[in-house]
A = this chain, B = another copy of it.
Amino acid sequence: MIKKEYVSIYKDYLLDRVVPFWLEHSLDLEFGGYFTCLQRDGSVFDTDKFVWLQCREVWTFAMLYNNVEQRKEWLDAALMGADFLLRHGRDNQGSWYFSLDRKGLPLMEAHSIFSDCFAAMAFAQLYKATQDRKYSEVAKNTFEIILQRKETPKGRFSKTYPGTRDIKGFSLPMILCNLVLEIEHLLDESLVESVLREGVHEVMDIFYKPDLGVILENVALNGSIVDSFEGRLVNPGHGLESMWFVMDIARRWEDTELVSRCTEIVLQLLEFGWDAKYGGIFYFRDIKGFPPQQLEWDQKLWWVHLEALIAVVKGYEMTGDTRLEVWIARLHEYIWNHFVDPEHGEMFGYLKRDGALLVDSKGGKWKGFFHVPRALFQLWKLMEKIVEKQEFVLDETKPNR
């Protein structure tokens, strides 16, 4: 059982306290694109434009337009970012830069394949909203580049000496699982299926290690565990996020056994990642308990907790597994007690281990208009389904029927 009021809590915070915050503070009406470095009250503290976040904001506005309501201001906001990105975002190979200055001049080269991933997502979602082929072409071309780059995603920027200890990262197969569902309306069905099969295999059979009960951030090319800083690293939030991506694929495949496996992994990751002393989920942990390289390892990040809650609620909606109920309550409490800002809306991003604020800004180089609205939307819709089912069951079991 979940509380009925959860539905409106998530819906209202999204529509009343998050979307307006970004509409009001984020749009650069002078040069186009978005400001994402926003202080607690929304005032802009830096005007650089990080392509991950520019793309994600286009995606979010378009997604809301497609799935919540066809509000013109949302579509206009998406188009404004898309226009800026089309004018300034790509190098002459068609890869997306990492960052631009306020006017759109490139600052950092196209070193991150994830810029391409988020661009493909953004333009595919915008195509859904507009049916303008200009956008679907950009999404498709970008996806082709991703497939070309994916075996050596860092290209010339890779610092790894080849041959000694080649490893592969979890982020890319994980993102591909989500990306392919996002842009499937633009791809051949056989390509969609093959990328999904490969992605799910990588996540569930290669990076997930049943003996350890964790998903690793990096493994050897043959899938084995590497006993190094990179190889011992777990990012529980990443693993949890991937589990709801795979649940979405399982729903498409009507594969209930896969959903059950995801649910078990979600429970394992929460056990592994949860801070028994202060609550919240650690940002990083080492599988042997050694100090991770990342000095921020014990911090509590907004996206980790939101993605975790989606995974738990989605698992609960699909399986009804009551072991998840305690985690729904625990994560809901943690988020509303720590990340929500009743005064200015949006959410805080970064807490210290004990839950105190590390910084009170609402956006920056990595936090934009993406995880919060996506999670609130997902949670609103999932909670709605769960509550409907609960009411149906209650109805069914009423003695006077």
Binding site for B on A (CB under 8 A): 37, 39, 45-46, 48, 97-98, 101, 105-109, 111, 156-157, 159-161, 164-165, 227-229, 288, 290-291, 293, 295-296, 298-299, 350, 352-353, 358-359, 361, 364-365
Q: How far apart are the CA atoms of A45 and B227 in the complex, in Å? A: 10
Q: Which of chain B's residues have a CB closer than 8 A to the CB of A359?
A: 291
Take A46-B229, A159-B157 as given contacts and tell me if A290 and B361 are in contact as well, using a CB distance cutoff of 8 Å: yes
Determine if A108 and B45 form an interchain contact, defined as CB atoms under 8 angstroms apart: no
Q: How far apart are the CA atoms of A291 and B46 in the complex, in Å? A: 10
Take A295-B358, A350-B295, A358-B298 as given contacts and tell me if A160 and B365 are in contact as well, using a CB distance cutoff of 8 Å: no
Nearest CB in chain B: distance from A79 CB, A = 25
Determine if A107 and B352 form an interchain contact, defined as CB atoms under 8 angstroms apart: no
8 closest cross-chain pairs (CB), A and B: A295-B296, A291-B359, A106-B161, A105-B164, A45-B290, A111-B159, A291-B361, A108-B159
Q: How far apart are the CA atoms of A353 and B156 in the complex, in Å? A: 38
Q: Which of chain B's residues have a CB closer than 8 A to the CB of A37?
A: 290
Determine if A164 and B295 form an interchain contact, defined as CB atoms under 8 angstroms apart: no
Determine if B107 and A160 form an interchain contact, defined as CB atoms under 8 angstroms apart: yes
Determine if A48 and B229 form an interchain contact, defined as CB atoms under 8 angstroms apart: yes
Determine if A293 and B365 form an interchain contact, defined as CB atoms under 8 angstroms apart: yes
Q: Report the nearest B residue to A98, measured CB to CB.
A: B159
Determine if B159 and A364 form an interchain contact, defined as CB atoms under 8 angstroms apart: no
Take A106-B164, A228-B46 as given contacts and tell me if A364 and B293 are in contact as well, using a CB distance cutoff of 8 Å: yes
Q: Report the nearest B residue to A164, measured CB to CB.
A: B105
Instruction: Say which residue of B101, B105, B165 sits within 8 Å of A101 (CB atoms).
Output: B165
Q: How far apart are the CA atoms of A232 and B101 in the complex, in Å? A: 15
Q: Which of chain B's residues have a CB closer than 8 A to the CB of A291?
A: 350, 358-359, 361, 364
Nearest CB in chain B: distance from A192 CB, A = 32
Q: Which of chain B's residues have a CB closer than 8 A to the CB of A164?
A: 101, 105-107
Q: Which of chain B's residues have a CB closer than 8 A to the CB of A98?
A: 159
Determine if A365 and B229 form an interchain contact, defined as CB atoms under 8 angstroms apart: yes
Nearest CB in chain B: distance from A164 CB, A = 4
Q: How far apart are the CA atoms of A365 and B365 in the complex, in Å? A: 26
Q: Which of chain B's residues have a CB closer than 8 A to the CB of A227?
A: 46
Q: How far apart are the CA atoms of A207 and B121 in the complex, in Å? A: 42
Q: How far apart are the CA atoms of A293 and B101 in the complex, in Å? A: 17
Determine if A290 and B46 form an interchain contact, defined as CB atoms under 8 angstroms apart: yes
Determine if A156 and B159 form an interchain contact, defined as CB atoms under 8 angstroms apart: no
Q: How far apart are the CA atoms of A107 and B159 in the complex, in Å? A: 9
Instruction: Say which residue of B97, B161, B299, B352 sits within 8 Å of A109 (CB atoms).
Output: B161
Q: Report the nearest B residue to A349, measured CB to CB.
A: B291
Instruction: Say which residue of B101, B111, B161, B296 sits within 8 Å of A107 (CB atoms).
Output: B161
Q: How far apart are the CA atoms of A295 and B358 in the complex, in Å? A: 8
Q: Which of chain B's residues have a CB closer than 8 A to the CB of A165?
A: 101, 105, 107
